Structure formats: C-alpha cells, structure tokens
Amino acid sequence: MMSSPLPTLFICLFYAYFSKVIGPKLMENRKPFQLKNILIGYNLFQTLFSAWIFYEYLMSGWWGQYSFRCQPVDYSNDPVAMRMANTCWWYYFSKFTEFLDTIFFIMRKKYSQVSNLHVIHHGCMPFSVWMGLKFAPGGHSTFFALLNAFVHIIMYFYYMVSAMGPKYQKFIWWKKYLTTFQIVQFVAIFVHQFQLLFTDCDYPKSFMIWIAIHGVLFLFLFSDFYKAKYVAPSKGGQNNFGLCMSVLEEDHHTHKKTDSGTLNNTYIKSDLSDSYKACYSNGTTNGYVFQTNVTQRTNAKN
C-alpha cells in the first residue's frame, strides 16, 4: 500500500463510485436494513480504536518528547521514531474503516446523508494521510492526528449511546458542546500549523500548509453547522450544506390516542432534519419523529 499511491487512489475512487452509484443501485429494490446492534458494536469499536491511536501518539512523542513549537520528522530507526511511524500507519488505516459510516447510510437508505461533500471528504482523507505517512511519518503535523483521534473517542462514544435508543439518550445532553469542541479542535490545528510560518523549523512547509488548510476549511464548515443547528435552526427553511460530522438528533416521541383508544404511531419527517441533512453523522438516528396517523385522524373527522 505504501510503495505506490495507486492502490489508495483506486480504493478512494471506488468508494466514491460505490457511494453514489453502486450502493444506491443495490438497495433500489430492498427495504432499509435495521442496524441498531451493528451500529452499537461499530461505534464501540471505533471508540476503542481511536483511544488506542490517541494513546500511541502520546507515547510516540506527544507526551513530553515532542515540541509544540517545532518538531522535525525523525527518519531514523530509533524505536520511538518507528513507533510513531507505526501509529501513523494505523491512523491511515482508520480512514478506511470510516468508510463504513457511508455504507451504513446506504444500507439504511439515508441517501441525503451521502452528500457530495460527505463523499469527497471521506474519499480524500485516506489519500491525504497517505502522503503524510509516505513523506513525513511523524513530527509537527501529527498534532492534527492526535487531536482528531481524541475527538473521535468522544464522538463515536456519543454515537454509540445515541444508537442505544431514547432510554440512554438522556445521558448525552452535552451534544451541543461536542460541536463546540470540534470547532476548538480545528482552531488549535491551524494555529499550531501556521506558527511555522514565523519559526525556523526543519519541517516540510508544504505539509504544514496542507494540514493548516484542512483546519481552516473544517473550522468554517463546522461553524456553519453550529449556526444552522443552534443559533438559527431552520430559519427561513435554509439547509446547512456544510461538510460536517454532525451530532445526532434524538428521536422525539409524540403519542396520541385514536378514537378507538389505541396508540397509533407513524413516522414523519422532522422539520429540523433539513437543517443538517447535508452534514454527515454516524447514521444512528432516523431524523424522524412520531406522530398520530394523519390519515386516520382525517377519516375520523369525516
């Protein structure tokens, strides 16, 4: 995989084609899959995997050995340097495991979540990380991966609890702060990278600029999501087309009795779902709310 960029490039292109063409075609005449238990297990795995990657980045240099001001790449065979390179490889591998986010959307027919920006982001990340792993497996820009792994610990834990249903969703009242935390992450990333413009540091400037641009881009996109979701949700019916890993919306339950005295629930589309449908989350909520069967209510009036 590391000897040539072609395998990674091929996988990324196939992922994009599968996400937009093959996957929806395969699901065309199938009912959406119910993946509650699979999603819980998947998010648990991603939480633990991200925690291990974060720990390895710390032990490979960021816990006391690396400088936050300037950290050149150690290309030697030193055990610590080799451990850092190994951690970078696993971080690269994790970008492929995140393709499952998209596959689960497709299997559940949540096509609005598989936006072009979502696919472009997931499709580009493995190739982008490949370049860093190939030419700079360590050093200053691994701070991006360190922070990203830490955020993923919290994020996938959130998704896991959300996938467990309304009984447990009361424990994730802090979802608004997760989005804020993600924004702070990107501020820290581009500030950490751009400081090299004013420091004499033996680190490839091209990678510094590349990672910093990522930080700036995602900062604006997450900020756009935050404003659409918390500052002015659904104002004027505007959609949020930002490329964001959105936090999940709990299911809202409204139970009403029919004339026969029985509970009759159907799903209708939430008014809030359109405000962030172009963002990508982990697919553990439906974006629907319960409401009494409208047809039966109409018939009862007649």
Residue appearing with tokens 């949020």: 240
Distance CA 164, CA 170 (A): 11
Q: How many CB atoms lie within 10 A of CB 158?
A: 23
Angle CA 286–291–297, to nearest 5: 145
The reply to whether 121 belongs to the active site is yes
Q: How far apart, in Å, are the Cα atoms of 281 and each of 13, 102, 162, 249, 271? A: 21, 9, 11, 10, 18
The terminus-to-terminus CA distance of the chain in angstroms comes to 67
DSSP H helices in the chain? 6-17, 23-26, 36-57, 79-97, 99-107, 116-135, 142-163, 166-169, 175-194, 205-226, 294-301
The CA–CA distances, whole Å, from 156 to 51, 117, 217, 284 equal 10, 20, 22, 11
Neighbours of 141 (CB within 10 A): 25
Single out the catalytic residue among 121, 140, 152, 192: 121
Classify residue 24 as left (phi > 0), alpha (psi -120 to 50) or beta. alpha
CB-CB contact of 46 with 154 (8 Å): no
Q: How far apart are CA 244 and CA 10, in angstroms?
A: 25
Q: How far apart are CA 74 and CA 83, in angstroms?
A: 11
What's the Cα-to-Cα distance from 162 to each of 20, 129, 148, 210, rounded to whole Å? 27, 29, 21, 34
**Residues belonging to the active site:** 121
